[in-house]
Structure 1
Amino acid sequence: MNIWKPTSILVKILVCTALLLPVVLQFQAGAIPVQANVSQTTKRADTAPEDLRQYTAEVIQQLALSEPLTSWKNADYVIEPLGPGTRSWLVTVKTEKNAPPGYIIISSTENNEYKLVEYGSGPDSLYVRSNLDSALKASGISKQGITNENVVPLYGGPVLAEWKVKPSVANSIQFLDALTGELLPESKESWDKQAAKYHAPELAVGSNQRGLSPEGTIYTSKVFDPYDNILWMTEKSLKFKKESFEAILNASKKLVFVSSGAERTYNIPLPIHGYQKWTEDSSLNSNEAIYVLTGSESSSRWISLHALIDCGYFVAYKE
């Protein structure tokens, strides 16, 4: 497996080489926000199916009922497809001027049910188009010939979110991380192999489960950096059933999710410091869905637990 080591964490990796079993990639967020190209996004949104629009509006209003997403109440939004073949859409939530930007990712199942895969808020969120300019410059990719038509957002699950860039003056396609803008050791062939394995998570909140609504977010710890203490790299993966995850996280306070897979060209650790449950309004039903909380000090990201289980494993983080 080709492992890419960004310069920003090279010192940390060298210090703890003896402890590294699988080398894991840390991304650093923090690009400078700029205004997105709304006209192109709106044009793409015109093609969104009406039932997707309706479901998206319902999800936004549900999430706006409690902190920290109350700024989403009555917010406008735009929808655009996330690359070919994955049956996924990016919803950009257009909040008030002083509120952080927001996003939602929805995928559809083979039975054409829409699934809420993840959502988040903050300047370091996924697919912030304003990151792209500085990312291209930092990656040494010429901006000549770069237009919205040859920059495509791709999604193959929560740990496989990328930009595909095809400069008209170059022959090779480049892939950038959709969160940080970092240049990735990816190719069209490696992307296609990984994306082909992605399926919408069956246990995520869906358009056929109108009775589920979000409870308040439970914070089990403060935001943390998994590289502050790398002993988690030697921990065994946690074995649990969906029903026991909540108890495990409440007891551990901090977990690290590690992406894995035979086809992966790079790995990502996600620090987990909380969760949000979606539950039935009726006490007669016990259906629920769990979204784990990750992110940075400035940006939060809630991801379907079932979506993560399909592409990696959890380990305990010890102080």
Structure 2
Amino acid sequence: MKIFVQRGRRRRLPASLLLLLCLVLAAASFGFPTQLAATGGRISVVQAVSQEVPPIFRFQEASAPVTLEDFAQSNIEKLSEQAPFKEWASAKPQYYPLGPGTHGWLVNVMNGKQRIGYMIISAAKDGGYVLSEYGAGTYGLPYSLSELHRLLVQQGLISSTYSGTLELTALYAPLLPVWKLKIDGKLLFIDAAAPQILPWTLSQADNALKNTTVSVEDVTSKKATVPHTAYRTGGTDDPYADLLWLTSPKLAVKDADSFTAEIAPGVSLVFQAAGRNELFGAPFTITGYQSWLPTEKTADAKTVLYAATGAGGKRYLPLSVLIQSGTLHKLPGNRTASFN
């Protein structure tokens, strides 16, 4: 940056103008965008005003089976009756296959060209479908191409205007969305929920992604359930903000009732899978939940619960898979709970 100084009478600049000039010069001395903090999807003002994603950062929409489309549309309609999903009422779904294999689909919920939510739907062994996870929002959700682009630029792997060749594949294992990226001779695996490069070799990735188990205890295409309004505790959504949870014993959570007894206003729970955290994108906090109730009162009818996690509690994961995969620990807080 060149600064020209006019010779002659000197004029003192007002203090407020000097302060503004200093801030502008300081900002110009740093590269954009700024480095992402490892906070599981938090976004700053600078990050929000991100550069446009180059056209090469795209993955192809595909035709989904009619039965899957019916299940997805049914879930969109049901969720749109409850906060924070009411914007889904007039939304349109887009379908993308998830590997490995063809046992899963990413369903982006679109308002025009803007994504306002997502669902991941997996194939069940009985031939039906399972709602593996879902969420609402315009940022901080899994499989964000803009966040992937930003991460690669910040890590120095590409320039902000990169126009080379790359091969991008969306993969999924329970609780862990993954990008598989081949770029300039490099093979990378990237956590697609809280963007960071995973320290995986190809064989490690193959082993991690073999876990394709889904729970038929969750919302499925073969049983009728309806969601209730989502609940948020107001607790912290950053597991690294306070590490006291490391000293708390694991909670005896085995079902929806025992879970809701533990999570209270101002409280966060932390999920971890000791020795296997990277396989599940853990540790992460749980700051709320949404219940799905059966429409028919039968002897085996159970409440299905999805736990809210991520920045602002936008991502909903099945409690059944959390219980099967790791442990929950309590992190006390002092904020106020709310219904969305």
TM-score by length of structure 2 reads 0.76
RMSD: 2.9
> C-alpha distance in 2, partners of 1:273/1:91?
24
Q: 1:259 to 1:161 in 2, by over 3 A?
A: farther
Q: 1:253 to 1:262 in 2, by over 3 A?
A: closer
Q: Does 1:289 align with 2:308?
A: no
> C-alpha distance in 1, partners of 2:277/2:286?
24
> C-alpha distance in 2, partners of 1:312/1:292?
14
Q: Does 1:45 align with 2:59?
A: no
> C-alpha distance in 2, partners of 1:36/1:76?
24
Pairing of 1:85-100 with structure 2 (within 5 A):
85=101, 87-95=103-111
Q: Aligned residues: percent identity?
A: 28
Q: 1:198 to 1:129 in 2, by over 3 A?
A: same
Q: 1:96 to 1:36 in 2, by over 3 A?
A: farther
> C-alpha distance in 1, partners of 2:270/2:329?
5
- Counterpart among 202, 210, 214 of residue 200 in structure 1: 214
**Which segment drifts farther, 115-124 or 130-139?**
130-139
Aligned match of 2:17: none
TM-score by length of structure 1 reads 0.80
How far residue 291 of structure 1 moved from its aligned partner, in angstroms, is: 0.4
How far residue 190 of structure 1 moved from its aligned partner, in angstroms, is: 1.0
Pairing of 1:17-32 with structure 2 (within 5 A):
27-30=40-43, 32=48
Q: Does 1:307 align with 2:326?
A: no
8 Å CA contact retained: 1:261, 1:312: no
Unmatched 5+ stretches in structure 1: 1-5, 10-25
Q: Does 1:224 align with 2:241?
A: no
Q: What is the total number of aligned residue pairs between the two structures?
A: 288
Q: 1:36 to 1:104 in 2, by over 3 A?
A: farther
When Rg is computed on C-alpha atoms for both structures, the one with the higher figure is 2
Aligned match of 2:8: none
Aligned match of 1:175: 189
Letter in 2 for 1:109: A
8 Å CA contact retained: 1:271, 1:295: yes
Q: 1:237 to 1:116 in 2, by over 3 A?
A: same
> C-alpha distance in 1, partners of 2:55/2:136?
19
Letter in 2 for 1:155: Y
Unmatched 5+ stretches in structure 2: 1-34, 334-340
Q: 1:190 to 1:232 in 2, by over 3 A?
A: same
Aligned match of 1:254: 268
> C-alpha distance in 2, partners of 1:228/1:180?
16
8 Å CA contact retained: 1:86, 1:198: no
8 Å CA contact retained: 1:221, 1:273: yes
Q: 1:221 to 1:29 in 2, by over 3 A?
A: closer
Q: 1:268 to 1:215 in 2, by over 3 A?
A: same
> C-alpha distance in 2, partners of 1:181/1:263?
15
